[in-house]
């Protein structure tokens, strides 16, 4: 297996998988984000470290900043995507990365890949206009357009990530959410 396929660093991936298998690195990984209110409905989110077994597994220079806002109709200034759009973006990114990685592991070239995610939400519950209406997405739909080498391997790459995507599975299954106020 070559080190790179479809731009995926297979050597690094294999090294991490082997380290988890042998217990050299913990399989328990934590990704985190911090937000700072910027006025109105805007916030700035910072993402830097990620932990494996409580130990920072990211290089010190890793740092990303995202802007979050709401559309004008929802009280914001529409200066950045809103949280539901980032949720959809997270699913897009997870499905995209998973398909490309699986295709690389299956030895298949990807020539083109587009993922479109639609997150439907009824705002009656959000606005308190109907207390029986949920204030969550009622449906998330995604469409994958694939072009490349072996069509069967590309379809298999999509099917595998449908079952293994941490973002898709988190959205599809109930999870414990713990909150703290300081």
Give per-residue pLDDT as tens, 47-105. 999 998 888 989 999 999 999 999 999 999 999 999 999 999 999 999 999 999 999 99
| pLDDT value of residue 2 | 67
- The token pair that represents 125 in the structure block: 């519950």
Return the closest-CA partner of residue 35 out of 82, 67, 75, 72: 67
Spell out the domains of the chain, with CATH numbers in brackets: 22-70 (no CATH), 81-173 (3.30.300.20)
Return the closest-CA partner of residue 68 out of 94, 46, 93: 46
Bridge partners (DSSP) listed for residue 42: 39
Report, in angstroms and rounded to the nearest whole number, the Rg of the chain calculated over CA atoms.
Answer: 19
| pLDDT value of residue 115 | 97
Q: In which band, very low, low, confident or very high, does the pLDDT at 25 lie, cut at 50, 70 and 90?
A: confident
**What's the whole-model pTM score?**
0.90
CA distance 164 to 98: 8
CA distance 14 to 120: 37
Q: In which band, very low, low, confident or very high, does the pLDDT at 7 lie, cut at 50, 70 and 90?
A: very high
Q: In which band, very low, low, confident or very high, does the pLDDT at 1 lie, cut at 50, 70 and 90?
A: low
| pLDDT value of residue 105 | 94
Tens-digit pLDDT profile for residues 112-150: 999 999 999 999 988 999 999 988 999 999 999 999 989
Show Cβ contacts of residue 145 under 8 Å, excluding neighbours closer than 6 positions.
112, 113, 114, 115, 116
């Amino acid at each position: 297996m070559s080190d790179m396929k479809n731009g995926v660093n297979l050597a690094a991936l294999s090294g991490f998988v082997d380290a988890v298998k042998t217990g050299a690195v913990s399989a328990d990984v934590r990704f985190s984000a911090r937000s700072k209110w910027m006025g109105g409905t805007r916030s700035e989110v910072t993402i830097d470290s990620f932990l494996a077994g409580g130990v920072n597994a990211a290089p010190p220079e890793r740092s990303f900043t995202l802007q979050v806002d709401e559309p004008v109709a929802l009280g914001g200034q529409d200066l950045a995507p809103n949280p539901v759009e980032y949720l959809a973006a997270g699913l897009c990114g997870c499905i995209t990365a998973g398909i490309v990685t699986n295709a690389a592991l299956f030895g298949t070239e990807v020539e083109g890949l587009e993922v479109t995610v639609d997150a439907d939400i009824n705002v009656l519950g959000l606005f308190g206009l109907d207390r029986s209406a949920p204030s969550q997405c009622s449906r998330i739909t995604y469409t994958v357009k694939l072009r490349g080498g072996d069509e069967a391997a590309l379809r298999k790459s999509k099917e595998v990530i449908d079952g293994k995507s941490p973002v898709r599975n988190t959205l599809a299954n109930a999870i414990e959410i713990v909150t703290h106020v300081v």
